[in-house]
Structure 1
Amino acid sequence: MNRQSMLPATARAVRVVAHRGASHEHPEHTLAAYRQAIADGADALECDVRLTADHKLVCVHDRRVERTSDGRGVVSEMTYAELSALDFGAWKGAGHAGARVLLFEDLLREALAAPRPVGLAVETKHPTRAGGRLEAELVRMLGEYGLADGSTGRVEVMSFSRNALVRTHRLAPGLPTVFLIEHRVRPVRPPYATHAGPGIDLVRRDPGLVARLKAKGLSVRVWTVDEPQDVELCVRLGVDTIITNRPKQVREQLEAR
């Protein structure tokens, strides 16, 4: 164990990752949300990725588009052109109307163009009709930008699916992977996972989970942490990364400590 890992949580830097961008203020997965997150000091940008019917990698959380757009349909059954015709901003309010579906490549370029190093935490969504093609396309895209070997430390891949993590490792052994946990309390380290991502509800119910995960050699990213008392809990437990819809407020709270 190195010296840094033994320091109290208040003495260590806690990473702040913007969940779908600064999504409390802007529609999730939009350039406005991600640009705001960068301006707010987020260390990394979290996104969900799916494949369209014509194999474009897009940033959309839900299987269907009804919640976040003015359209109807299943993402995997729609072409990129069909998705581009929808408004992905109006649901957040009139002031956000006109936002279009975001290509993962455009988000990647935005992160790389930031005035300081900004990482990406990419969740591959399963189950999906794309199956393993989703991870294959993601790794291919990262390879085009020299990010697939993990040497830059700019990208990590997350999933609730163990199979997805195994596929990612086989395609890009150097990429860090995060095993997301929503309901499972007993920590079991899946093959190739380097980080664990429990939800804040789970951490509240079982605070000792963080220590047990760390004992298995996993660093811990907790989602989605928006309330000040939950930020304090995460710091007290020694969480390494906080994933939040409110990156500015969380960053300010951490700096105030």
Structure 2
Amino acid sequence: MEASAGCGRICHATETTVGAVKIIAHRGASGHHPEMTRDAFETAFAQHADGIECDIQLSADGVPVCLHDPTVDRTSDGSGPVNRKTLAELRELNFGTHGRPQQILTLAELLDLLRDAGNPAGDPGYRPEIFVETKRLGTFGERRGQLENALQSALVRAGMADGDDSARVHLISFDPGSLARFRRINPDIHRIFLHRDYRGERVLHRLEDAVVSAQSPGYSVTRMRTDPQSVTGEPANTYLFTLNREDDVKWACRHGVHWIATDYPDRARDWAGGATRFSR
């Protein structure tokens, strides 16, 4: 259902804001290839996604790698916690398909791909963004900032920790602690506080917002469409996930949502009427 009159800020969006929508490839073009593989991200760039989203975890030797789960069981032919495997051990696993094996990507390697994608021949105006999601970590040591410091180090090496390219980087997280830690490390990187859908969170996040001081909120499309009273912030400053249906994409366009994450960036662009392309 759509927001009705008197339901909150989302009601004031107009249908003239469609051009503001940016399509973010969720874990790469993960509807077409195994998530967060080189193929998934390169396809996202080939489809001119306005940005890519990835999750990072730390390997046993402290390397940030592109992986959603705390274990490798679901996404590879191996098993066990990622934080108990060195990068060399993770490299031995297949994160692709049987017919097209894929090694795990480090964050540094993904940033290299991002930089190369931003300078293709004949298309100097294409400058995709990156949304890096950090997870709520399980050990005291991890909560002391190891992941956030590793992220900062990768951004520094890629030349994206400050200056013009830092504007292409967004830190997103459901974990207010991670956002607060990174704020202390690099306050210039844009932060997006992701909100879960359970009702208790809707009270808790008001307290957490004061600690995080994130510049933008992030919500599921289900929550934003069915319970707009619980949504704060303007749609033009909101990150919405994960939109894989035509009616959801068109709804987000009509309501002026700025960033929409999808597993199918090519389909989302068609559904959005082609209004998400970078101007040249």
**Fold match, TM over 0.5?**
yes
Q: Deviations over 1:193-239 (max 9, x none)?
A: 011111122223213445x3229xx8100011110111122123321
In the alignment, which residue of structure 1 is the partner of 2:127?
117
Equivalent position to 1:79, from 73, 80, 86: 86
For normalisation by structure 2, the TM-score amounts to 0.82
Amino-acid identity (%): 36
Alignment of 1:1-257 (within 5 A): 8-90=15-97, 94-95=98-99, 97-114=100-117, 115=120, 116-129=126-139, 130-131=142-143, 132-149=145-162, 151-152=164-165, 153-183=167-197, 184-185=201-202, 188=206, 189-190=209-210, 191-210=212-231, 212-214=232-234, 219-256=237-274
Instruction: Quote how far apart the aligned CAs of 1:254 are.
Output: 1.3
Alpha-carbon distance in structure 1 between the residues aligned to 2:182 and 2:253: 30
1 CA distance for matches of 2:229 and 2:251? Answer: 11
Relative contact order higher in (CA < 8 Å, ≥ 6 apart): 2
1:32 and 1:233, CA in 2 relative to 1: closer, same or farther beyond 3 A? same
Q: CA deviation at 1:8?
A: 4.0
- Deviates most, 15-24 or 150-159: 150-159
Does the aligned pair in 2 maintain the 1:121–1:156 contact within 8 Å?
Answer: yes
The runs of 5 or more residues in structure 2 that have no matched partner are 1-11, 121-125, 276-280
Aligned positions, number: 246
Contact 1:149–1:173 (CA under 8 A) maintained in structure 2: no
Question: Is the contact made by 2:14 and 2:254 (CA closer than 8 Å) also made in structure 1?
Answer: no
SS of the equivalent of 1:255 reads: coil
Q: Distance in 1 between matches of 2:241 and 2:267?
A: 15
RMSD, aligned α-carbons: 2.1
CA distance in 2, matches of 1:78, 1:205: 41
TM-superposed CA distance for 1:150, in Å, is: 6.0
Looking at structure 2, the residues matched to 143 and 249 of structure 1 have their Cα atoms a distance apart, in angstroms, of: 34
2:49 is paired with a residue of what secondary structure?
coil
Q: What whole-Å deviation, never above 9, does each CA across 1:162-213 have from its counterpart, x for those lacking one?
A: 1111111110010000101112346633432011111122223213445x32
TM-score by length of structure 1 reads 0.89
Question: Given the superposition, is the C-alpha separation of residues 39 and 170 from structure 1 closer, same or farther in structure 2, using an over 3 Å criterion?
Answer: same
